[in-house]
Structure 1
Amino acid sequence: MTTAPWRLPAPSAGPAGPFTRLGPEPLASALAALPAGAVEEFTASWDGLPADTHLGTDTPYRFRRYGTFRLREGLLERLPHSAFFQDKAVNKVNGGVPRMFAPLTDTVARSAALRTLVRALHGRLPGPRTDIDTCGVHQIRVTATASAEGLPAPEGVHQDGHAYVAQVLIRRQDVTGAESRLYDPARRLLHRTVLTTPLEAIVLDDRRVLHDVSPVRAAPGAVVGVRDMLLVDFFPGGGD
């Protein structure tokens, strides 16, 4: 896959502590300079996500695309598509298995909305950003019906195996549940919240906190409930 750089704004100083909870305003403000159509096209792309084939369930409830990028000297550069891998120590369900997810579409990977959000999140990492020059981008949809809940985190309380992880709500429609919870290394609860408004986010230091999300359930009377998330993993890439 050919890499393609795009120029990015400089990051701002990040907050202190092992995690930060963002209301919708910081990311909405970052996107405000873009045409409304660009943001709408970006969020609408969750409607076309293919099923996650690594769930091991007869009926899919999670839909996903993935891509990686290098952030260097103000540039966001798309890297060749590759499998997503987590060690068994951090993911007891799918760890140790290279998972090849469908790639981000070219439209999403090149979008001004994506690069704006990635840079805004990079500027709010809860700790040093030195050498944090690479990111993995996940578009994820979890669905639920009256007869079947969806599991955003089937592995339970866990770490992702990265330096930092940003969790951004894109859409929440006709669902209940999906409470996000953060824990210290001794698994003592640090924070719990439900992301309800688009562009609300949690940015955490994956080395200092663990996290999980409770099941997504369809709201009473709903045929299908939907929870769309943008996840961005930040880590050192080690140059070329």
Structure 2
Amino acid sequence: MITEKNISKSLGRTIKSPIRIGNVSDLKMDVKSFLHFFQPFFEELKDDVYLVRGKQIAFLKEAFPEDATAIEKLHKPYFEGTRTIDALAYWIQQLDTNQKQEFDQLSTITRQRNISSFLIEIWDDQYFVERIVQQGFEQDVDDFRVWKRVFKQATREAVENELFFELLKKMAGLVKKIHPEVRKIQITSHFMRTISKEKVKGENAPEGVHEDGAQYIMSALVINRQNITGAESQIYEKTASDTNELIYKKVLQPGEFIFQADTGEEFTFGNDLWHYVTPIEPEDIKNPGIRDIIGFDMDILE
């Protein structure tokens, strides 16, 4: 498993904030059976409409700069679903043919996902898993992700099983090795499919280089790559000059993952880590390109 120590050696300077790049085999789990079990669950995901809504608002603000303030007032209610696309009809109807074509293209769904949350309690080196249900998902960040999003809950078959519980315990174990005193961890999982069709790229990180607002994340445990190029995972450090310096990059293959400190670690360890994943495009444009991952947000509660 690659750690911050390996990255420090390659950079010629010290990175103290925790990073783990590895394979599920490093977690003592069989890669082939793991992937075989979880791959079918990505066929049941629901469309993530939030990315599309954000793109539509940005496009209309650019197309009608004189009305940008009025359009922006609709951003949050439209994003959260309290207003429908009918609220934007005044501007959509004024788009010319080329603009309408571009608007329709950026309205293509490129992400699907579900969500589930768990409490992991640790007593005498025993790990106990309890599923909890959260009605909405919000992130402690400085962009649109701070707004409430509601995603379909993962099915019991997908996440309430021995294999997934074992994965949760292994991830809690990664946190416990860093913080031996930890007793309770909340973990939120995201089954997410990114889709690219013809000229429409699949955005893995539309917010750009970012943090997720959790103490630790597994930014991606890749389950499937099908007919795609791209999706290079990148780890950055935000420096004292407030610039992002790339410190590690890798195209993760099925079974591989990146675990890292995410938010507030600069006060604990001294390095402010951020991350990004490049978009995907289909190798054969006649067929869609697909990338399936499970992502995790982890916060220490006790």
Asked which structure has the greater CA Rg, the reply is: 2
Q: CA deviation at 1:82?
A: 2.3
| 1:190 and 2:247 correspond | yes
| 1:79 and 2:135 correspond | no
Deviations 1:69-98 (A, max 9, x none): 000131110002321101342xx2x23211
| 1:127 and 2:178 correspond | yes
Distance 1:185 1:26, change over 3 A: same
Distance 1:15 1:188, change over 3 A: closer
1:190 partner SS: strand
2:259 partner SS: strand
| 1:66 and 2:66 correspond | no
- Find the counterpart in structure 2 of residue 3 from structure 1: none
Superposed, 1:196-235 pairs within 5 Å as: 196=253, 198-207=254-263, 208-235=272-299
- Find the counterpart in structure 2 of residue 44 from structure 1: 40
- Counterpart residue identity of residue 298, structure 2: F
8 Å Cα contact 1:151-1:215 kept in structure 2: yes
Deviations 1:123-176 (A, max 9, x none): 224732625511001000001112211001000001001011012011011100
Distance 1:39 1:152, change over 3 A: closer
- How far apart are the structure 2 equivalents of 1:121 and 1:88? 23
- Find the counterpart in structure 1 of residue 233 from structure 2: 180
| 1:147 and 2:211 correspond | no
8 Å Cα contact 2:120-2:172 kept in structure 1: no
Aligned residues: 217
Superposed, 1:163-174 pairs within 5 Å as: 163-166=215-218, 167-174=220-227
| Runs of 5+ consecutive residues of structure 1 not aligned to the other structure | 1-13
Q: CA deviation at 1:232?
A: 1.1
8 Å Cα contact 2:119-2:184 kept in structure 1: no
- Counterpart residue identity of residue 249, structure 2: R
8 Å Cα contact 2:121-2:184 kept in structure 1: no
Identity of aligned pairs, percent? 25
8 Å Cα contact 2:24-2:30 kept in structure 1: no
Deviations 1:193-235 (A, max 9, x none): 1002x21010000033100111111113551011000011110
- How far apart are the structure 1 equivalents of 2:192 and 2:121? 26
1:95 partner SS: helix
- How far apart are the structure 2 equivalents of 1:68 and 1:185? 29
- Find the counterpart in structure 2 of residue 96 from structure 1: 146
Deviating beyond 6 angstroms after TM superposition, the runs of 4 or more aligned structure 1 residues are none
- Find the counterpart in structure 1 of residue 72 from structure 2: none
Distance 1:193 1:159, change over 3 A: same
Greater fraction of residues in helix: 2
- Find the counterpart in structure 1 of residue 92 from structure 2: none
- Find the counterpart in structure 1 of residue 156 from structure 2: 106
TM-score by length of 1: 0.82
1:141 partner SS: strand
Question: What is the RMSD computed on CA atoms of the aligned residues?
Answer: 2.3
- How far apart are the structure 2 equivalents of 1:72 and 1:169? 26
TM-score by length of 2: 0.66
- How far apart are the structure 2 equivalents of 1:180 and 1:66? 21
| Runs of 5+ consecutive residues of structure 2 not aligned to the other structure | 6-15, 54-105, 264-271
- How far apart are the structure 2 equivalents of 1:154 and 1:178? 12
8 Å Cα contact 2:120-2:186 kept in structure 1: yes
- Find the counterpart in structure 2 of residue 23 from structure 1: 23
